[in-house]
Structure 1
Amino acid sequence: MKIAPNSRVLITGGASGLGLALVLQFVERGARVLATDVHEEIPDSLRGLEGVSYLTLNVTQDVDWAKARDWVTETWDGLDYLFNNAGVAAGGRIELSEMDQWQWIVDINLLGVARGCRTFTPLMKEQGSGHIINTASAAGLIHPPRMTEYVAVKAGVVAISESLFHELKPYGVKVSVICPTFFKTNLTESLRGKDEQANKSAAKLIDKAKLSADTIAARVIRGIEKDRHIILTDRDGKVAYAAKRFARPLYYSMMKKASFQMAKKD
């Protein structure tokens, strides 16, 4: 089903990266968008966009989610699409990952999604419609070495999405989860951790990625319009996920090779 004009859309992390690309995709389709981010003032990237409103929303804060719900209710009297998109990155050898780093990524990437879902589920159940879209990663489906924090939270987002997919179906509410591999974004700015080797490797993969956030966003929209639950946005993710599901020995061989290659650099 095509995105309807005047659709009501809330996107977290909407000031940059995939979030901003999604904002622009929906604007092109005539939707009304509430872009949210942690900035106190509207970012320059969103300023002047027709059909776009801005609200400060730190996804770790319940009070900010309550304000977003109140804004949506008072301004639009409902919501058609909720994108739990805001996220950060961390990874590396587990002995170098401190517990405050774990808490940081769990609070944003996992509990931020949980807060968004629990905030807007009652509204969507009451209106008998709506679509929740959670941004995970191919790392939520396949779990490479030296990414324990990141794969843990992204796998959690996939799990939340699948559980809600079944839970909300009787109420007419849809749930999808986005699982891209590397694409050009500003995620490197949020990289945190003491494993400098892992940080440099991740930054290199992101910087050399061939796909742009705009391309990923367009594929996400197509996935939504085709009613897909798991939205795999690129060939590499599809191949890796298929290998894990249908050719487990090959998948383990790939992971083993990657792990030993990393170990040689220690």
Structure 2
Amino acid sequence: MTLLKKLNKKYPNKKAFITGAASGLGYAFARLLADNGWSLYLSDINIASLEELRATLDGAKELHTFELDVSNKLSYERTVEAIRKNTSQIDLVVNNAGIGDGEFFQDYKSDLWERMIRINLMGVYYGCHHFVPWMIKQSSGTIINIGSAAGFMNAPGMSAYNVSKAGVYALSETLYHELKSKNIHVSVVTPTFFKTNIMSQAKGSQGFVNFAEKQMNHSTTNADEMAMVVLSKAASGVFQIVHPKEARRNYFFKKWFPGLVAKKFQEMLAKLS
């Protein structure tokens, strides 16, 4: 039996939909599920990269790919419609697609704010909007929303990102309570930086991009580890998945020593200014 035996046993049909599946954490989810014989419905805004990965996911029972900008309402509707034509069952939805960026509030343009909210928050909303009724009808399912430790650790220079991820957390917690009695589980993932390409579409300050990339380079956690931990904990019914170790440490200090966190942020602000 694999480490995902709980998830495989709970959902014998083993069908999953993943956004942002062409790279990073999304691809790690896809590869792990493919190795466990799942049928995969994978989407990404970069369809060329997604198609290039087909050969690496040959363990999947079925593999369907879709070009999807998660911030585009009509594009999302068309994607879901195409999936419905192929299957009547979706066991797992991973709302993974997202971007990272940073800049001081007064310097971050409003169009970039709106872009951040559309992708990171509305993209998750659209995934839930379309698949929650589907899962209610089939009386089962798991939704995993990829948030961030930034949803509870609101560092300076990241206002738009912080708000988008705090929104993902709030939506996830609401749905967790609303759907629990309907045999539908919701998890929200709140990691710190780990090795991925989340800053590839950043349009804010290069200083903040460099800071984020430095944090990722120093991390000992990669996307494969994150995917395994997340899927295993979601299968066990965990709501907030706090990983890696740094995320757990940050969560502890924010809850019990908020004054120390505030001091750390002031020190961080001084370095960035």
For normalisation by structure 1, the TM-score amounts to 0.93
Consecutive unaligned residues of structure 2, counting only runs of 5 or more, are: none
Report the RMSD for the aligned CA atoms in angstroms. 1.6
Aligned equivalents of 1:228 and 1:165: distance in 2?
Answer: 10
Q: Name the structure where helix makes up a greater proportion of residues.
A: 2
Aligned equivalents of 1:81 and 1:182: distance in 2?
Answer: 24
| 1:139 matched residue in structure 2 | 150
Q: Deviations over 1:129-173 (max 9, x none)?
A: 111110001111222222111111000000000001111123221
Contact 1:185 1:213 in 2 (8 A): yes
Contact 1:145 1:255 in 2 (8 A): no
Q: Does 1:167 align with 2:171?
A: no
| 2:249 matched residue in structure 1 | 239
Contact 1:22 1:217 in 2 (8 A): yes
Q: CA deviation at 1:63?
A: 2.1
Aligned equivalents of 1:42 and 1:92: distance in 2?
Answer: 29
| 1:220 matched residue in structure 2 | 230
2:203 to 181, 189, 192: 192
Which 4+ residue blocks in structure 1 deviate beyond 3 angstroms?
none
Contact 1:240 1:251 in 2 (8 A): no
Q: 1:42 to 1:191 in 2, by over 3 A?
A: closer
Q: Does 1:33 align with 2:40?
A: yes
2:99 to 76, 81, 88: 88
Q: CA deviation at 1:74?
A: 2.1
- Greater shift, 6-15 or 255-264, is seen at 255-264
Amino acid across the alignment from 2:96: N
Q: CA deviation at 1:73?
A: 2.1
Contact 2:226 2:243 in 1 (8 A): yes
Query: Pairwise mapping of residues 100-119 of structure 1 onto structure 2 (< 5 A)?
Result: 100-119=111-130
| 2:264 matched residue in structure 1 | 257
Query: Pairwise mapping of residues 148-167 of structure 1 onto structure 2 (< 5 A)?
Result: 148-167=159-178
SS of 1:43's equivalent in the other structure is helix
Consecutive unaligned residues of structure 1, counting only runs of 5 or more, are: none
1:3 to 2, 7, 10: 7
Contact 1:12 1:36 in 2 (8 A): yes
- Alignment: residue pair count: 262
Q: Deviations over 1:184-212 (max 9, x none)?
A: 1111212221x332221112112222111
2:220 to 210, 217, 229: 210
Contact 1:35 1:53 in 2 (8 A): yes
Aligned equivalents of 1:66 and 1:265: distance in 2?
Answer: 41
Q: Percent identity?
A: 33
1:123 to 114, 128, 134: 134
Amino acid across the alignment from 1:3: L
Q: CA deviation at 1:13?
A: 0.1
Contact 1:184 1:207 in 2 (8 A): yes
| 1:18 matched residue in structure 2 | 25
